[in-house]
Amino acid sequence: MPAFYRENGVNLGLTAYRHATEDLVESVRESLSRVDLNQVEKMVGEMLASTDRRILVLGAGRSGLIGRAFAMRLMHLGFRVYVIGETITPSVGKGDLIVALSGSGSTKLVVTAAEIGKTVGARIIAITSYPDSDLAKLADHVVTIKGRTKVADETDYFLRQLMGEHEPMAPLGTVFEISLMTFLDGIVVELMRRLGLTESELRKRHATIE
């Protein structure tokens, strides 16, 4: 083992990794514990009301990747689901449901697409950290998932700990994104239960060519 991993005989290897993973798990637990269950119930209700309509998932960057994973699970559940921005996605129409994902609630691509959807009569569920954001103001329903709420002036993790600034050791929107992924997987399980579906039924819709 390289000498710089040891100090006074103590193994210091992967210190940042160990602290980061511990912080992330705790931060995600805290974030999801603060989600309003009434907001969750209304979102589930909106989605169940859309079983015979189209659901379009909207997100950019890493949130967009998480949205794609969510859309795949909705397909497994039997929903007519598309990801906005893909070449095979149809035009948004009246009565369609848009699930828009943006931690900041101000991502221009997401807000603009939601504005267009609103214009043609689609319903919008916004999932964001900021309930007063531009995206949230457009939405028919908002689910608030808190991410990292502040960025400390001190960038050194260990100095932050000594100073009592116990901010999660996670860059940019990581806490929101991991919380979002976990939240949406929870939504999938709730939908699965209410629709009376089994895992074997979902597996029948899973891609056979990958």
Domains of the chain in sequence order = 36-150+173-193 (3.40.50.10490)
The residue type of 189 is V
> What pLDDT is recorded for position 9?
53
Query: 175 to each of 33, 71, 74, 129, 169, how far by Cα in Å?
Result: 13, 21, 23, 11, 9
Instruction: Name the pTM for this structure.
Output: 0.82
> What pLDDT is recorded for position 18?
79
Query: 127 to each of 68, 140, 182, 209, how far by Cα in Å?
Result: 15, 11, 13, 32
177 is catalytic: yes
What six digits make up the tokens of 72? 């795949």
Q: How far apart are CA 57 and CA 73, in angstroms?
A: 12
The residue to which tokens 């996605």 are assigned: 89
**β pairing state of 97-101 and 54-59:** parallel
> What pLDDT is recorded for position 184?
98
> What pLDDT is recorded for position 170?
59
pLDDT in tens, the chain (210 residues): 444 455 555 555 667 777 778 888 888 999 999 999 999 999 999 999 976 789 999 999 999 999 999 999 999 999 999 999 999 999 999 999 999 999 999 999 999 999 999 999 999 999 999 999 999 999 999 999 998 655 444 444 444 444 555 555 555 558 899 999 999 999 999 999 999 999 888 888 887 766
Active-site residue, from 22, 177, 190, 210: 177
> What pLDDT is recorded for position 156?
46
Count of CB atoms within 10 A of residue 101's CB?
Answer: 29
The residue to which tokens 């995600």 are assigned: 28
Q: What does the buried/exposed string (b/e) look like for 147-182 if buried means 16 or more CB atoms within 10 Å of the residue's CB?
A: bbeeeeeeeebeebeeeeeebbbbeebbbbbbbbbb
> What pLDDT is recorded for position 163?
52
- Paired with 1 in beta bridges are none
164 sits in the region (left: phi over 0; alpha: psi -120 to 50; else beta) called: left
Alpha carbon 7 to its chain centroid, in Å, reads 40
